[in-house]
A and B are shown apart, each in its own frame.
Chain A
Amino acid sequence: GENVEQHPSTLSVQEGDSAVIKCTYSDSASNYFPWYKQELGKRPQLIIDIRSNVGEKKDQRIAVTLNKTAKHFSLHITETQPEDSAVYFCAASVGTGGFKTIFGAGTRLFVKA
């Protein structure tokens, strides 16, 4: 089946600490894994993505790692800031051509000042 599981559902960290969100996927053919950030009342926006031919990707304070064998990928946010507080969704492409996208249930991140 097509499923993306995301953990934890909520995460509270102190400003400056790191935050890690983990996802697992079921479709071994998945080849594209985006992460979206959604602030309250706003639309989801891409923050970083990774393709299956790469094991890790970094963009300033944000990094994503992918383990294809284990079918899991993780988002790492370092030096968290209050403005990082939001809901984060992982997703995986599934199906023929990889055009269909399945989202995880989301992680609500609170960064305490």
Chain B
Amino acid sequence: DTGVSQNPRHKITKRGQNVTFRCDPISEHNRLYWYRQTLGQGPEFLTYFQNEAQLEKSRLLSDRFSAERPKGSFSTLEIQRTEQGDSAMYLCASTTEGEQYFGPGTRLTVT
């Protein structure tokens, strides 16, 4: 499969625990995005990378969220000290220009 992949697909965690998600973009895509989507809402921008550089991070994102793309290929999104309000679908997308190709998402449930 040459599309965008995300792992894990589902994650259930207890409040206060740390979680890390991985995104593998389409190999030739230099730009990678993270979004959060809750039921009935559109994807909410979290951050994006141009190659390995994190160029922008949403002001809505607390310090508990951090993302990396160390070699300009795959990316990880870590949430520390999870809260129930973090429960959502976390989507990754990649592109070179224009159309963003989305991964299947990681559904996080914080209990």
* A-side contacts of B56, CB under 8 Å: 95, 99-100
* A-side contacts of B33, CB under 8 Å: 101
Report which A residues bind B (CB closer than 8 A): 6, 32, 34, 43-46, 49, 89, 91, 95, 99-106
Residue interface mask B27-46, A partner, CB < 8 A = 1: 00001010100001111110
Please, how many angstroms separate the alpha-carbon atoms of A46 and B35 in the complex? 16
Given A32-B98, A34-B98, A46-B100: A99 and B40 interface contact (C-beta under 8 Å): no
Please, how many angstroms separate the alpha-carbon atoms of A101 and B100 in the complex? 10
Contact indicator B102/A99 (Cβ below 8 Å): no
Complex partner residue of B45 from A45, A89, A102, CB under 8 angstroms: A102
Distance of A98 from chain B, by nearest CB (Å): 10
Complex partner residue of A101 from B45, B55, B104, B105, CB under 8 angstroms: B45
Given contacts A103-B43, A105-B41, 17 further A-B pairs with CB under 8 A are A32-B98, A34-B99, A43-B91, A43-B105, A45-B102, A89-B42, A91-B42, A95-B56, A99-B31, A99-B56, A100-B48, A101-B33, A101-B100, A103-B44, A104-B42, A105-B40, A105-B42
* B-side contacts of A6, CB under 8 Å: 42
* A-side contacts of B91, CB under 8 Å: 43-44
Q: List 18 A-B contacts (CB under 8 A).
A: A43-B91, A43-B102, A45-B102, A91-B42, A95-B56, A99-B56, A100-B45, A100-B48, A101-B33, A102-B45, A103-B42, A103-B43, A103-B45, A104-B42, A105-B40, A105-B41, A106-B40, A106-B41
Report which B residues bind A (CB closer than 8 A): 31, 33, 35, 40-45, 48, 50, 55-56, 91, 98-100, 102-105
Contact indicator A99/B55 (Cβ below 8 Å): yes
Complex partner residue of B99 from A49, A89, A99, A103, CB under 8 angstroms: A49
Name the residue of chain A whose CB is nearest to the CB of B89.
A43
* B-side contacts of A103, CB under 8 Å: 35, 42-45
5 nearest CB pairs, A to B: A103-B42, A43-B102, A46-B99, A89-B42, A103-B43
Contact indicator B42/A43 (Cβ below 8 Å): no
Contact indicator A44/B45 (Cβ below 8 Å): no
